Structure 1
Amino acid sequence: MIRLARPDDRERLREIQTHLGEPNPALLAYAVDGPPVVLVSATPDGDLAGYLVALHDAETSYVAEIVVAPAYRREGRARRLLAAAFDYLRERDCARVRLSVHPANDAARRLYESMGFEESGREGEYYDDGSDAITMSREL
C-alpha cells in the first residue's frame, strides 16, 4: 500500500533513510509536514518498507530521495512509489519530473529508464565521493 506519510512515521522513516548513500535528515524532517510530498510504502501489517520525497512547483517536480529498506527490496516497491508519485504530481498539474542518480547505481538507473526517464544532463562533483550526478527527467 502507498500512502502519504504521517508525523508518527518519522522514527521509522529516519531508520529507512540510513540506507541511503547520502541521506538528508533535515529534508526528511521538513518534508513529512509538507509542502514536499512524502509517500510511504507500507506492508500489510503496517510496517513501513520505503519512502519517496518529491519537491514540486507549478510545473516541475524533483524526486529528492527514494529508498526501500533492504528486507523489502526486489518487491517492486520503488516502482510503485514512483508510479504513485507520478499520479500525485499530475493531479497538482506538474508536467515534468526530474531526479539525480549516482553513475555507479546501475539498478536505480535501470528502474528509472524502465519508467520513461531519460538522461538530461550531469551535475559535476555532486556526491561526497566527488562523482558527478546523472540527471534524468521525464514528462508526466
Structure 2
Amino acid sequence: MTDVIRAAEPRDLPSIRALQTCLPEPASDLFTDLPPGVTLVSEADGLVVGYIHAFTGEPAYATELAVAPANRREGRGKRLFQSLFVHLRRAGCQAVTLTVQPENEGARDLYEELGFVVEERLPGYFEDGGDALRMRRPL
C-alpha cells in the first residue's frame, strides 16, 4: 500500500467533500472550491482517504481533519498534521490553533501528542450549542 501526503488539487474536491460527511459539524461551504490557506490530502493506493485544512495567518487555524473510517488508526491524522506544520512554517506562521469538542477524547489525545495545549473553553461554540476547547501549538 502506498501512502502519500500531497497538496490538494481541484480534482480532489469530490473526495474531500465525501470525507467531510465523517465530521460531526463540517464547514459545509469550505470546499466549494479549494479555500485559501493549506489543504493537504492523504492517499492510499491512489485514493484520497484523508485531508487537513488550515487558514494561514497569526495564528494559523486548523479548520478540519478527516480520515475515512477504514483508514483510521494508521497514523494518517498525525502525518497530515506534521506535513501541515511544515507548510505553515514555510508560510511564516508562528503558531496554529484548532477547536475540538471537549468529549472527543480520541482527537484530544492526538492533538496533545502533537504538542497542542488547551488555551481556553468556548461556551456554546458549536451549532448544537456545545462547548469547544481552543487548543494551540507553537510552530
Hey, what does 1:24 align to over in structure 2? 27
1:122 and 1:110 map into 2 onto residues whose CA distance is 17
Distance in 1 between residues matched to 2:10 and 2:30, nearest whole Å: 14
Residues 28 and 53 of structure 1 are in contact (CA less than 8 Å); yes or no, is this contact kept in structure 2?
A: no
- What is the TM-score when the length of structure 2 is the normalising length? 0.94
- TM-score in terms of structure 1 length: 0.93
- State the percentage of identical aligned residues: 45
Which residue does 2:126 correspond to in 1?
A: 127
What SS is found at the alignment partner of 1:136?
Answer: strand
Contact 1:97–1:138 (Cα < 8 Å) also in 2 = yes
2:38 alignment partner in structure 1: 37
Aligned letter for 1:46? G
Q: Deviations over 1:7-55 (max 9, x none)?
A: 011111111110000111211224x1x4221110011x21011101100
Size of the aligned set, in residue pairs, is 136
One-letter amino acid of the structure 2 residue matched with residue 51 of structure 1: Y
Distance 1:23 1:90 in 2: 25
Secondary structure at 1:20 match in 2 = coil
Q: Which residue pairs with 2:66 in the alignment? A: 67
Q: Which runs of 4+ in 1 moved over 2 A?
A: none
Supply the RMSD in Å over aligned alpha carbons: 1.0
Q: Which structure: greater helix fraction?
A: 1
Structure 1 CA distance, aligned partners of 2:51 and 2:28? 13
Partner SS state of residue 136, structure 2? strand
Mapped to 2, the partners of 1:92 and 1:77 lie a distance apart of: 22
Cα deviation, residue 128, structure 1: 2.8
Q: Take 1:12 and 1:39, find their aligned partners in 2: how far apart are those partners?
A: 12
Structure 2 residues not aligned, in runs of 5+: none
